[in-house]
Amino acid sequence: MKLSGVEVRRIEMPLVAPFRTSFGTQTVRTLLLLRAVTDEAEGWGECVAMPDPVYSSEYVDGCADVLRRFLVPALAGEFSGATAVAPSLRKFRGHRMAKAALETAVLDAELRARGVPLSRELGATRDRVPCGVSVGIMDSIPELLDAVDGYLAEGYVRIKLKIEPGWDVEPVRAVRERFGDDVLLQVDANTAYTLGDARHLAKLDPFDLLLIEQPLDEEELLAHAELAKVVRTPICLDESITSAQAAADAIRLGACQVINIKPGRVGGYLESRRIHDVCAAHGIAVWCGGMLETGIGRAVNVALAALPGCTLPGDTSASGRYYRTDITTPFVLDDGHLTVPTGPGIGIAPDQDALDEVTVKTEWIPL
């Protein structure tokens, strides 16, 4: 395969409603889309970095810069396909979200040329996946209950509540009392707590949660292991898991019982599959997280979520959860599930008119 160049598009997608987490509130999703042009086909990838380095050290402008100056030029000349991307970029430290977007675009082009769906390439065993939904921090408990009621009415099979100090036990209690014990419920702290909050977090135990996601700082694996001795609710790691090696280390330390795989965070879907395999070998449940993706990123996440070890509903969600108009054919819930694309590559492509409408800047990086 030979790459002739990569188009980088900066787009801005208005959200249907503000989405608040412990690290801030989003009203518009700003991200990068990559179109890799090879001598065999074209492919698409989505960079899930945010405008500011608050979820991770990466941010949109930084990703555009490192792609332009280092990552795309490193793929000049002939190479053996998507599996060669990560080795070619290894000398550049970090920048996993930018690397993931580039590898995904190359992988999409390669699989389109071969006529192979991504789901088959990854080893998916299902043609539809159950969907959970992430519910942001609200201004009041009644507002939260109304939101959860609406998502359950739409058919979502699992509810995830964002939490932070001051917005944790009482919102969870209210949801449990209103909707009952049969609702699959979990919480996500996005690193908002410290080990000193262990006794407080143990107050969530009576609510029979599926898991508590990333309660402590991403570098505090030992602290997570200590927390697991105090709380009965299973600990799920998100930000801490940056590779298959990091997953293996966390499992060995007893820092988690569940892992959330976000492909952008770990450097791509091939590394995501390796994390899935490590977890499966150790009996650790995994699920596919989300970063408010467009239909491009959502299509690839759904393929990952169809792997056999993804035994918990992911944050894949329908397109309408975040966007009134997507840049692709929208993903729509069907009895709480999304259908896995079956076309070659990621199985979906953007609508050019819709894409142009939300494009802020386009840059061609030639090779």
215: left (phi over 0), alpha (psi -120 to 50) or beta: alpha
What is the three-state SS of 36-61?
EEECCCEEEEEECCCCCCCCCCCCHH
DSSP string covering 97-123: HHHHHHHHHHHHHHHHHHT-BHHHHHT
Question: What is each CA distance from 316 to 6, 177, 287, 364, in whole angstroms?
Answer: 27, 26, 10, 30
Question: Under a CB-based contact definition with an 8 Å cutoff, are residues 340 and 126 in contact?
Answer: yes
Question: Per the structure block, which two tokens stand in for 308?
Answer: 């056999």
What whole-number distance in Å separates Cα of residue 271 and Cα of residue 243? 7
**Catalytic-role residue among 91, 162, 203, 229:** 162
Residue with tokens 């408010």: 292
All residues at 6 or more sequence positions from 241 whose CB lies less than 8 Å from its CB, including other chains: 247, 250, 259, 260, 261, 265, 266, 275
Helix axes 269-281, 96-114, angle to 10 degrees: 100
Residue 99 appears among annotated catalytic residues: no
Instruction: Please tell me which residue in 2, 91, 229, 262 is annotated as part of the active site.
Output: 262
Q: Which long-range contacts (CB under 8 A, 24 or more apart) does 23-32 make?
A: 23/54, 23/55, 23/190, 23/191, 24/52, 24/54, 25/136, 26/50, 26/292, 29/292, 29/294, 29/322, 29/323, 30/60, 30/360, 31/60, 31/294, 32/8, 32/60, 32/63, 32/64, 32/67, 32/101
What DSSP character marks residue 252? H
Q: 3-state DSSP: the chain helix, strand, coil percent, rounded to 5?
A: 40, 25, 35
Catalytic residue flag (residue 162) = yes
Q: Which residues are known to be catalytic?
A: 162, 262
